[in-house]
Amino acid sequence: MTSALPFDDFRDLLARLPGPAEDAAARVRDLFVKAGGENRSLGQVEDIAVWLAAWSGRAPPAVNRPLVAVFAGNHGVARHGVSARPMQATADAVELCAAGGAAVNQACIAYDLGLKIFDLALHLPSGDITREAALDERGCAATMAFGMEALADGTDLLCLGNLGVGGSTVAAALFAAIFGGKGADWIDTDAGGNAAMAIRRVEAVDAALAFHGAHFKDPLEVLRRVGGREFAALAGAILAARMQKIPVLLGGCAALAAAAVLHAAEPTALDHCRLASLPLRRGPRDAAKRLGLAPLLDLGIDGGGGLDSALAAGLVKAAALVSSGTAATVRR
């Protein structure tokens, strides 16, 4: 990156996003019509295959190098008691993944998916968004660039997830900054559990909105002020995938919040993305609806560290194989 201001390169990329391969999508649609007529007997499986063809440029599509990328970060806002877990829990979760014992590891084995876990300076939490910016512009841009490098080894389906104590509160702050409203609009306060903690989360979001509210016109500025390292890295990964025309599965509230930032900057920025699973919490569900992202699955997973996107990848791989089988049948 060579521009004078750290965010300028990302603004340039957002201004020249590549579009889908409409010819490949049309060929896959035609395959299904020839095989089954106009009644769309395979339903959403056809839609997934067409989406995959549009963003891979292959008809029929194939998924040969899927990658689950999980970004882990800690947040200064956690000091306000917004999570039942200590900050050390993030490092523990990363270590569990590295040892192969997390749920996402088993899903990756089941569906033959690659898995990378990115430790984003867990010893150095991002700034407490109630009283300071999460990151400075240079640090945010560098973390976005780091997220882009997650694709360096090559993949043809990117499945995203996150780990991080305090991340759901940060995601709520990002949703509120992007879509409007207050903390209570984006955090469940009546869903049972620890009511006092829910109130602290609402108060933290409202404090962040009050402190940073004058800077919300620029979505990237929103990201650096009320986001965090894994949110910035996820935004970078989503953007890099678009530039390389790689389909993306969004898993977890952090990926959804990072996607909301990109959508606010450029409304077509998420055309290559699908939502892995219906979010369990009201705030992320509302955000997904506003972004026009319909979930592939509904499994009641809350967070999961990439589990939801890994499970959705199994469905996407199956849809690719179905389209390949359909193509073979049609050619006979």
| pLDDT tens figures, 309-318 | 999 999 999 9
Radius of gyration of the chain (CA): 20
Tell me the mean pLDDT in the region 89-99.
96
pLDDT band at 330 (very low <50, low <70, confident <90, very high): low
Tell me the mean pLDDT in the region 138-165.
96
CA 216 → CA 138, 156, 203, distances in Å? 18, 34, 19
* Identity of the amino acid at 60: P
Integer distance in angstroms from the first to the last C-alpha of the chain? 50
CA atoms within 13 A on the CB side of 235: 33
Q: How many CB atoms lie within 10 A of CB 185?
A: 16
The pLDDT of residue 287 is 97
Does residue 331 carry a pLDDT above 80? Answer: no
Tell me the mean pLDDT in the region 181-190.
90
Does residue 122 carry a pLDDT above 90? Answer: yes
Does residue 1 carry a pLDDT above 60? Answer: no
Pairing of strands 248-250, 273-277: parallel
Let me know: does 323 contact 49? Beta carbons within 8 Å. yes
Tell me the mean pLDDT in the region 182-191.
86
* Residue 15: exposure state from Cβ atoms within 10 A (0-12, 13-18, ≥19): exposed
Residue predicted with more confidence, 303 or 156: 156
Q: Which helix (H) or strand (E) holds 318?
A: helix 307-331
* Distance between CA atoms of residues 207 and 203, nearest Å: 6
* Distance between CA atoms of residues 33 and 143, nearest Å: 44
* Distance between CA atoms of residues 193 and 39, nearest Å: 46
Tokens representing residue 96 in the block: 């569990």
CA 30 → CA 36, 59, 158, 319, 324, distances in Å? 10, 10, 26, 15, 13
pLDDT band at 320 (very low <50, low <70, confident <90, very high): very high
Q: Which residue has the tokens 């997934």?
A: 48
pLDDT band at 192 (very low <50, low <70, confident <90, very high): low
Let me know: does 205 contact 197? Beta carbons within 8 Å. no
pLDDT band at 304 (very low <50, low <70, confident <90, very high): confident
The pLDDT of residue 316 is 98
- The mean of the pLDDT values for the chain is 93
pLDDT band at 2 (very low <50, low <70, confident <90, very high): very low
Rounded to two decimals, the pTM is 0.95
* Secondary structure (3-state) at 245: coil
Does residue 185 carry a pLDDT above 70? Answer: yes
Rounded to whole angstroms, the maximal C-alpha distance in the chain is 66
CA atoms within 13 A on the CB side of 76: 17
188's CB contacts (< 8 A; 6+ apart) are 198, 281, 282, 283
Bridge partners (DSSP) of residue 157 are 66
pLDDT digits (tens, 9 = 90+) for 208-239: 999 999 999 999 999 999 999 999 999 999 99
* Identity of the amino acid at 101: G
Q: In what order do the strands lie in the sheet with 295-297?
A: 114-119, 66-72, 157-163, 248-250, 273-277, 295-297
Tell me the mean pLDDT in the region 289-310.
92
The pLDDT of residue 39 is 63
* Distance between CA atoms of residues 73 and 321, nearest Å: 35
pLDDT band at 43 (very low <50, low <70, confident <90, very high): confident
Tell me the mean pLDDT in the region 171-176.
98
